[in-house]
Structure 1
């Protein structure tokens, strides 16, 4: 079995229980030292054969899999495997060779970045959607489908998370502004580098000041740029989820404006 495991954003204690369990019994571990702190490997079986993929090609990694057809293998990917996880080619190999595999999700860098700045990324009446994207350019231009540029999404003006783009601060700012069609210059923007790592950094700015502040910070890799009005100092609206005037499957509406002190029957369900 090959387990593609989301290692989480960096902190060793943000790996899931399932991911840690897979590491603990792995016979072979493939991980990238450039993206995953060594502390995460504290969960790993001490006797496991380890391969640092930082300098490996896809073919090198697949060769490791091929040499161990019966082994319990863990392939660690930073964050969560579902976002820029680069597991598609490996899954295709597993399917073509009949190799059994599984995917173990992880805590993504977006969640870690939101925690670092102490913000909810959605807010009633402000932002109810989150765009996750990256700049197109250089080696990645061909992988970006038409209509999915940062500028194309900027017109929605909802919360946006831009990955893998801090090396081009001027281009990033220009696409976010999109000549007046995108975000306003005063829109809050935050750069979170190495979220949950010991050397985590947070730069708070605006879309209009993003290029200058990002360039001055020296941050180039392992960073996420968050943009949107939900990041600013807003007056939060009360949500209906906990409003006593509204009911749902576990609570009846209170005509007196409060459910305090009332026993509401809740269906008991057996955990899987």
Structure 2
């Protein structure tokens, strides 16, 4: 018996790995995060039991897994995006280790990747930014020392900020000293869902644009010069005259 932590992707039911889809269709027990995973992701399943974990607390989820383990049934534990990022799987894994229950993580498409695709942007450009910082805004969960937004912003790297749209005013205030008020920023609401929407601007004007849209939750913030830059060098990989193992000189 194995518990499979499956990344269902950001919303579009087709943005799931072949392996993740196969396991959803074959596992006899499915526990899915219904608040963020569309029911269409479960199409084609032959499960005996399907449970929406949005209505449960941790002990209840583990109870379901223990019951499946006693029956020798594999479990598809379906999370949104990639389960290794803000997926709350760490606490579940800790319990499974204590119970000696096998588990496996199946990666998924991240919200950050989906947002970059929507914007038609590459998040790492030569001479502009070669680093992407994935973080969240401190709210209910306190950020560890050194991971405050201002500390991360000091790097000037491309940044993806989760769970922060309702704190946009504070975020902008903390970012401007490091990125400049003219730095490009985008706020993407429900990336890859049928009702997806987004707005682009600068740190100076993004608050008004987001207010007009009315985004309150389920939105990702992307900030960095890569979002509006043509002033970067071509990569070495495809540069004529640059030799490598697949294209010798």
Check the 8 A contact 1:126/1:229 in 2, yes or no.
Answer: yes
Q: 1:121-161 CA deviation, whole Å, 9 max, x = no partner?
A: 01000000011111112x212xx101101111111111100
Larger RCO: 1 or 2 (CA < 8 Å, sep 6+): 2
Determine the C-alpha separation between the residues in 2 that align with 1:89 and 1:233.
41
2:41 aligned partner:
40
Determine the C-alpha separation between the residues in 1 that align with 2:166 and 2:222.
15
2:226 aligned partner:
230
1:267 aligned partner:
none
2:66 aligned partner:
66
Q: 1:201 aligns with which of 197, 200, 208?
A: 197
1:169 lines up with 2:168 in the alignment: yes
Check the 8 A contact 2:25/2:42 in 1, yes or no.
Answer: no
Cα displacement (A) at 1:43? 4.3
What is the SS of the residue equivalent to 2:105? strand
Determine the C-alpha separation between the residues in 2 that align with 1:66 and 1:41.
22
RMSD of Structure 2 on Structure 1 (CA): 1.2
1:147 lines up with 2:149 in the alignment: no
1:251 lines up with 2:247 in the alignment: yes
Segments of structure 1 that go 5 or more residues without pairing to the other structure are 254-272
Determine the C-alpha separation between the residues in 2 that align with 1:233 and 1:239.
15
1:87 aligned partner:
89
1:55 lines up with 2:55 in the alignment: yes
1:104 lines up with 2:100 in the alignment: no
1:157 aligned partner:
156
Check the 8 A contact 1:169/1:215 in 2, yes or no.
Answer: no
Determine the C-alpha separation between the residues in 1 that align with 2:44 and 2:174.
41
What is the SS of the residue equivalent to 2:221? strand
User: Rg bigger for which structure?
Assistant: 1
What is the SS of the residue equivalent to 1:2? strand
Between 211-220 and 116-125, the greater mean CA deviation after superposition? 211-220
What is the SS of the residue equivalent to 2:188? strand
TM normalised by structure 2 equals 0.95
Check the 8 A contact 2:128/2:232 in 1, yes or no.
Answer: no
Check the 8 A contact 2:130/2:157 in 1, yes or no.
Answer: yes
Cα displacement (A) at 1:209? 1.8
Cα displacement (A) at 1:236? 3.8
1:188 lines up with 2:194 in the alignment: no
Determine the C-alpha separation between the residues in 1 that align with 2:229 and 2:235.
17
Check the 8 A contact 1:15/1:106 in 2, yes or no.
Answer: yes
Determine the C-alpha separation between the residues in 2 that align with 1:86 and 1:43.
26
What is the SS of the residue equivalent to 2:179? coil
TM normalised by structure 1 equals 0.87
